[in-house]
Structure 1
Amino acid sequence: MQKYILWLIDYIRKLESKIAFYPTVFSFTGIIFALIMYYAENNGISGYIIKYFPALVINHTDTALNILTTFIAGLISIMVFSFSMVMILLSQASSNFSPRLLPGLISNRRHQKILGIYIASLLYCIFTLISIEPTGDSYQLPGFSVLFAIIFMVTCLGAFIYFIHSISQEIQVHNIMERIYADAKHRLEKLLDSEKESIEEMSFPDTDNWEVITAKRSGFLQTINLDIISKIAQECDNKFEVFAIKGNFIHLNQLLYKVEKSLDEEQQELIEDAFLFSRDEIISDNYILAFKQLTEVAVKAMSPGINDPGTAIITLDYLTELFTLRSSKSDESFVTVDDEALIKINTVSFENLMFYCNSALRTYVKHDLVMVLKMLDMYNHLYKNTTNKTYQKVIVSQVKILLKDAKASINNEDDIEVIEARAKATLDN
């Protein structure tokens, strides 16, 4: 049963990130409401309202037909324009910033819901138009339904105005980076809170001789349901070490986890289903993706084709904040029950994360004095805001590498002196 629940949750999460999810849900809602109104009209709701509230009912066939046909044509035009704007947004974000930003932009729920309102209103108007009887009899004319069509059209106009405002804000790189940063910060803070609840110095047995379990499928490891693994560990007095890192692409037969005692077939299937794979990457599940995306935006901004150092500087500000948060987190995490570590979870180490981001940045910024100084400021800030000696050594190492690259790329001696003086602030600590 747990297997199917996990599969259903994973399937719903994937569906919700698709651009057509909310429009499809809203479309069915519009059709269902149109059928409800058709049933109500057949039971004389328009005749009842004409008797008590005549101003609320459109009681002329030609007027109703003109209103509905105009609404249908107008909604199709608005919908086509809105979809075109979304495609332009995605194309511009892909070419100017990074293709990896597209999943986050596509999954924007506000835009999905607005498109869904358009389609639901359009389908409602179509079904209401079909229900009009050609006799023109006032009791057969769905006058009250036409009133709802007018209300829906006014709602669509309001949604269209909001859509224009939202899409103009969404395309701005500062807002894109703010969203990425906010998602990653929320995820990191959540992980830090969970670490505070565990024991700081956690002992865990050596796992060299434990049974090795490999992956039976491939894909991006989206998330891990640790509750299921922890429950099995308690039931069979077992311990696990998870080697697969969330966000990484897991290949077939790659090491997934180690287990202290052998598991039966049913337990292995449950644990296998606890590893949720996906072809998409989501920041709310994996904060590492935010570092990758922000780094790629900075690299793209500093490339000769774009040449936008202002965007790169803003990106470094966000990276500094995220690295500061990450420096407060341990490289290893544990799941504990009654102060006993049952699961050890390996994550992307601070050293590897620094190397990944900074090696890509150095390639494009080592010749630019302003960007080199900005990166040195980032290192200095990180060094002062972490008490982890291992992390401080990593930061010092990155300062030395950047200093070496900058000296090889910048010929101006005055600039080199400025860079050395800025680097000294970190190296002398």
Structure 2
Amino acid sequence: MTIKHLLATCLAATAFFTACKDSPNTSDPDPIDPQSSLYSVWAATESGSYLLTTNSLMKDTLLSPKNNKGIDITSHLPAAFYAIYAYNHDGKFYLSNDGKRFSQFEVINGSQWKETSAFSFANNFFLGKVLDNISTPQELVLTKTAGTTNKEKNVLEQPIYYMNTAKLAINKTLNVEIPMIKFTPKQPNGQNDDPYIVPTSMTVRGDKLFVGHKYRSHITKQDIIDTAYVYVCDFPSLTNGKIIKDHRGGFTAGHWEINKTTFLDDNNDLYIMSRRTNSSSYGLLRIKAGQTSFDPDYFFDLKDYNVFSNSSSLIQKLGAGKAYISPYVIDPANKKIIADLRILVGGGESRTTMNFMENGKLYDVFKTDESRWYVFEYNPETNTVKRGAEIDPGVTTVYHVNKLK
């Protein structure tokens, strides 16, 4: 028996699944109580995109866009392309989908989708990384997808915006300058390539900023160097910068949209996902607390596990030394797989762009092997799941599951 088969057998044997009725209560109109907590599921059908709202994700009910129960957001978020440029922060949605306009939207009374503020950038803008651990309800700290290559300085200039959430105005801007390596590969036809930098992560830890980045070919638009590069500098002064690199696991995984491929554990150790070019072979690198170089004694090879089947998934810190890298719950410090949530939920997969934590529990959406969509609650302390609301079977994709208030 292989290790993977043994893991699956053990997890299946120990899993605890709280079953609901085969069919949820669809006769209940499930009215929204404006005084209660509010949650939303952003789902897409063949005809458009909808926000499905509810006061409880764990209620035995059916969330559906039919009969005007879903908020139609098709004109603003029509397809998967925009899921990677949309973020929920402090109950409000922030999105960019036309190349310059940055918008704030709110759900009003659980049934109306309203743009409450907007900011127009002078130049090209799509929402990139969100620095959530230094953002506040009053200020969203973010960057855009692609900076500007300064060939004279031989750097990528990547802005960091401090956005006032009350009036959607920029309080201040920092400009990180990431040095570019000297690398001029040639294509088989002899044409010189001119690789460019893509920022894959931004993490602030104390007085240091860590910017993961990778190199892509201008000709093929493919990742081309199997080396993890991270630019480290003082923060917020952005001085004393240096490049650190590691060859063991490939490039720093991810792309320039909002997906988050790093996390800080309870000890303040920084973990960074890596990936091999032209493969789905992932791994974890570590920069220990107080250090500014890769830990030479640590590499968690995940090549046997299909993590990040959706490149836009967000890594979620669970606490107590655990993290969620869809679909796995891992113990990164001890290089262990704790659970495969596909097994705990009875089969299926998750392709969400955003999940969230509340009261120490993880909430995510899975499409089961029977092609039925459900919200699931995962308890890291007990390693158990509970099944919540079902989502209309006509849904083709679920992008976000969020708490709005």
Specify the TM-score bucket, using the shorter chain as the normaliser.
Answer: under 0.3
Q: Which structure dedicates a bigger proportion of its chain to helix? A: 1
Q: Which structure dedicates a bigger proportion of its chain to strand? A: 2
Under a length normalisation based on structure 2, what TM-score does the superposition of the two structures give? Answer: 0.20
